[in-house]
Amino acid sequence: MQKKIVANWKMYLTLSQSVALAKRISNLKSQISNLAVVLCPSFVALEEVGKAIKNRGVKLGAQDVFCCAKEGAFTGEVGIDDLRELGVKYVLVGHSERRQHFHETDAQVNQKLKMVIKAGLRPILCVGESVEIRKRGEECGYVAKQVKAGIKGVPKQKLDKLLIAYEPIWAIGTGRADTPEDASEMQGWIRKVIGSARVPILYGGSVNSKNAVAFLRADNVDGLLIGGASTKSAEFMKILRKVC
């Protein structure tokens, strides 16, 4: 399976910064052609980043989508058809920051995931436990529940569109990444829960140029979802060069 590197730029970069970084990454792409690289800028930067990476082998991703309708009176939301028209191929669903700050429920995450699959795009379902759950040793049950709730009602043959990102909340943006061994164990468990060898499972949470190779070498780690480190040009280039 081709390793996937997904960059989640969150709300870190302006439009011009996003385009500049996208250009730098697509210039590098010929040297890293064995990797699938996906950039997820903010909604407002999607169109211009899409132009900057067009025909350069880098794919466009969105950080979110409206769950519940393709169009209508939903002020401030962005629908799936807009994303598709802009050339988006991947959509993050259920990122822990959305679950935490915007109170997204498993049911909404499930609706988003189905919306993305129905539109012919690929959802990246984000799951991961809090530090409290980890301390209680309940992370496997918790993550299994998130995975099952996320894919509820999706026919098995449609699962080949799906990607999963395991991102323990305590590792996101903290500089305290999981260990490759523990991530590998959890991702093996997720694979069992999902019951398919074809769903890529990514690790995310404080990935940087020092630990990226070790994560990608671990069993069951098919790629990386990178936040902070993917917004810093030199650091992200370093990661891409090291892991290709």
Q: Which one of 105, 173, 192, 219 is in contact with ligand PGA (CB under 6 A)?
A: 173
Q: For residues 64 and 167, which CB has a smaller minimum distance to ligand PGA in the complex?
A: 167
> Would you count residue 227 as binding ligand PGA (CB under 6 A)?
yes
Q: Which amino acid is at 158?
A: K
Q: Judged by CB under 6 A, which of 209, 228, 240, 243 binds ligand PGA?
A: 228
Site residues (CB under 6 A) for ligand PGA, limited to 25-84: none
Site for ligand PGA in 140-169 (CB under 6 A): 167
* Nearest residue (beta carbon) to ligand PGA: 227
For residue 182, give the nearest of 226, 221, 156 by alpha carbon.
221
Cβ distance to ligand PGA smaller for residue 33 or 40: 40
d(CA 76, CA 65): 11
At its nearest, how many Å lie between ligand PGA and the CB of residue 73? 31
222 binds ligand PGA (CB under 6 A): no
Residue 35 to residue 122: CA distance in whole angstroms: 17
Distance, CA of 54 to chain centre: 20
Q: Minimum distance from CB of 63 to ligand PGA (Å)?
A: 9
* Binding test (CB under 6 A) with ligand PGA, winner from 206, 212, 215, 216: 206
Q: What is the distance between the alpha carbons of residues 220 and 120, in angstroms, rounded to a whole number?
A: 25
Which parts of the chain fold into alpha helices (H)?
Answer: 15-28, 46-53, 80-85, 96-101, 106-118, 131-135, 139-151, 180-194, 212-217, 233-243
Q: Scan residues 92-151 and list those touching ligand PGA (CB under 6 A).
A: none
Tokens of 43: 């909604």
Residues that bind ligand PGA (CB under 6 A): 8, 167, 172-173, 204-207, 225-229
